[in-house]
Chain A
Amino acid sequence: MTKVKNVVIAGLGGQGVLKASDILADAAFRAGFDVKKSELHGMSQRGGSVSSDVRFGDRVLSPMVPPGEADVLLVLEETQIEINRPTLKPGGVLIGPDVLNAAALKNKKSLNVALLGAVSTVLDIPEEQWLAAMYANLAEKLHTINEQAFALGRSAAIERKAADQ
Chain B
Amino acid sequence: MTSERLLLSGDDAVALAALHAGVRLGTGYPGTPSTEILETFDQLGGRAQWSPNEKVALEVGMGTAFAGARTLVTMKHVGLNVAADPLFTAAYTDIEGGLIIVSADDPGMASSQNEQDNRHYAQAAALPMLEPIDSQQAYDFTWLGFEISERWKIPVILRLTTRVCHSKTIVHPRGAAAETPEPAFQRNIPSRVMIPAYAKPAHHRLRQKIAEIAAWNAAEGPIRLDEGSPALGIVATGIAAVHAREAAPEARQLTIGLTYPLPMERIRAFAEGVERLVVIEEGDPVLLDTLRAAGLPAEGKPEMYRFGELNVARVRRILAGDVSPEPVPPKGKPPELCQGCSHRSVFQVLKDLDCIVAGDIGCYTLGVLPPFSAMDTCVCMGASIGVGLGMRHVLPEDQARRVVSVIGDSTFVHSGITGLAEMVYNPPATGHLVLILDNGTTAMTGQQEHPGTGRLLDHSPTGKISFEALAEAMGVQNVHVVSAQDKEQSLQDLIAGLLAKPETSLVVTRQPCVLAAPKIRFYEKAAAEQASETHCPAETAD
Residues on A lying within 8 angstroms of B by beta carbon are 12-13, 22, 25-26, 29, 34-49, 51, 60-64, 66-67, 79-80, 82-84, 86
Considering the complex, give the chain A residue whose CB is closest to the CB of B135: A36
Contacts of A40 in B (CB 8 A): 110-111, 162, 166
- Judging by beta carbons under 8 Å apart, are A61 and B242 in contact? yes
Contacts of A35 in B (CB 8 A): 7, 168-170
Contacts of A22 in B (CB 8 A): 168
Query: Which B residues between 313 and 362 are near A, CB-CB below 8 angstroms?
Result: 313, 327, 329-338
CA distance A22 to B166 in the complex (A): 12
Determine which of A39, A41, A45, A84 lies in contact with B515 in the assembled complex, contact meaning CB atoms within 8 Å: A45
Contacts of B93 in A (CB 8 A): none
- Judging by beta carbons under 8 Å apart, are A47 and B7 in contact? no
Considering the complex, give the chain A residue whose CB is closest to the CB of B341: A46
CA distance A48 to B335 in the complex (A): 4
CA distance A11 to B483 in the complex (A): 35
Q: Provide a sorted-by-A list of 23 A–B residue pairs whose CB atoms are within 8 angstroms.
A: A36-B169, A37-B167, A38-B166, A40-B110, A40-B166, A42-B111, A44-B335, A46-B335, A46-B366, A47-B335, A48-B334, A49-B333, A61-B242, A61-B243, A62-B243, A62-B246, A62-B312, A63-B163, A66-B246, A66-B313, A80-B332, A84-B330, A86-B330
Determine which of A43, A62, A82, A83 lies in contact with B242 in the assembled complex, contact meaning CB atoms within 8 Å: A62
Q: Which DSSP category, helix, strand, loop or mixed, fits chain A's interface?
A: mixed
Considering the complex, give the chain A residue whose CB is closest to the CB of B326: A67
Determine which of B7, B32, B163, B333 lies in contact with A42 in the assembled complex, contact meaning CB atoms within 8 Å: B32
A136 to chain B, nearest CB (A): 10
Residue of B331, B335, B363, B366 contacting most chain A CB atoms (<10 Å):
B335
The 6 closest A-B pairs by CB, nearest first: A49-B332, A42-B111, A46-B335, A48-B335, A83-B330, A61-B246
A149 to chain B, nearest CB (A): 23
- Judging by beta carbons under 8 Å apart, are A48 and B333 in contact? yes
Contacts of B32 in A (CB 8 A): 41-42
Contacts of B243 in A (CB 8 A): 61-62, 64
Apart from the given pairs A29-B170, A34-B170, A83-B331, 11 other A-B contacts in the complex at a CB distance below 8 Å: A22-B168, A36-B134, A40-B110, A41-B110, A43-B334, A48-B333, A62-B242, A64-B312, A79-B333, A82-B330, A86-B327
CA distance A113 to B292 in the complex (A): 52
The answer to whether the Cβ of B283 comes within 8 Å of any Cβ in the partner chain is no
Contacts of A84 in B (CB 8 A): 330
CA distance A46 to B329 in the complex (A): 21
Considering the complex, give the chain B residue whose CB is closest to the CB of A37: B168
The answer to whether the Cβ of B373 comes within 8 Å of any Cβ in the partner chain is no
Contacts of A83 in B (CB 8 A): 330-332
- Judging by beta carbons under 8 Å apart, are A36 and B168 in contact? yes
Contacts of A60 in B (CB 8 A): 169
Query: Which B residues between 9 and 33 are near A, CB-CB below 8 angstroms?
Result: 32-33
- Judging by beta carbons under 8 Å apart, are B163 and A38 in contact? yes
Query: Which B residues between 161 and 182 are near A, CB-CB below 8 angstroms?
Result: 162-163, 166-170
The answer to whether the Cβ of B192 comes within 8 Å of any Cβ in the partner chain is no
B343 to chain A, nearest CB (A): 11
Report if A67-B332 is in contact (Cβ < 8 Å); known contacts: A38-B163, A46-B338, A61-B245: no
B326 to chain A, nearest CB (A): 10
Contacts of B327 in A (CB 8 A): 67, 86
- A-facing mask of B205-248, CB < 8 A → 1, else 0? 00000000000000000000000000000000001001101100
Contacts of B33 in A (CB 8 A): 41-42
Contacts of A86 in B (CB 8 A): 327, 329-330
The answer to whether the Cβ of B311 comes within 8 Å of any Cβ in the partner chain is yes
CA distance A119 to B245 in the complex (A): 29
The answer to whether the Cβ of B446 comes within 8 Å of any Cβ in the partner chain is yes
Considering the complex, give the chain A residue whose CB is closest to the CB of B315: A62
Contacts of A39 in B (CB 8 A): 166-167
CA distance A46 to B336 in the complex (A): 6
Contacts of B334 in A (CB 8 A): 43, 48
CA distance A26 to B6 in the complex (A): 10
Considering the complex, give the chain B residue whose CB is closest to the CB of A49: B332
CA distance A27 to B332 in the complex (A): 28
- Judging by beta carbons under 8 Å apart, are B332 and A43 in contact? no
Considering the complex, give the chain A residue whose CB is closest to the CB of B339: A47
Contacts of A61 in B (CB 8 A): 242-243, 245-246, 312
B226 to chain A, nearest CB (A): 11
- Judging by beta carbons under 8 Å apart, are A67 and B242 in contact? no
Report if A26-B336 is in contact (Cβ < 8 Å); known contacts: A36-B167, A38-B167, A39-B166: no
Contacts of B312 in A (CB 8 A): 61-62, 64, 66
B254 to chain A, nearest CB (A): 16
Contacts of A43 in B (CB 8 A): 110-111, 334-335
CA distance A42 to B170 in the complex (A): 23
CA distance A63 to B162 in the complex (A): 12
- Judging by beta carbons under 8 Å apart, are B335 and A13 in contact? yes
Contacts of A51 in B (CB 8 A): 332
CA distance A40 to B107 in the complex (A): 12
- Judging by beta carbons under 8 Å apart, are A63 and B331 in contact? no
Considering the complex, give the chain A residue whose CB is closest to the CB of B330: A83
A9 to chain B, nearest CB (A): 13
CA distance A47 to B514 in the complex (A): 14
Contacts of B313 in A (CB 8 A): 66-67
Query: Which B residues between 25 and 80 are near A, CB-CB below 8 angstroms?
Result: 32-33
- Judging by beta carbons under 8 Å apart, are A63 and B169 in contact? yes
Query: Which B residues between 145 and 167 are near A, CB-CB below 8 angstroms?
Result: 162-163, 166-167
Considering the complex, give the chain B residue whose CB is closest to the CB of A43: B335
- Judging by beta carbons under 8 Å apart, are A25 and B515 in contact? no
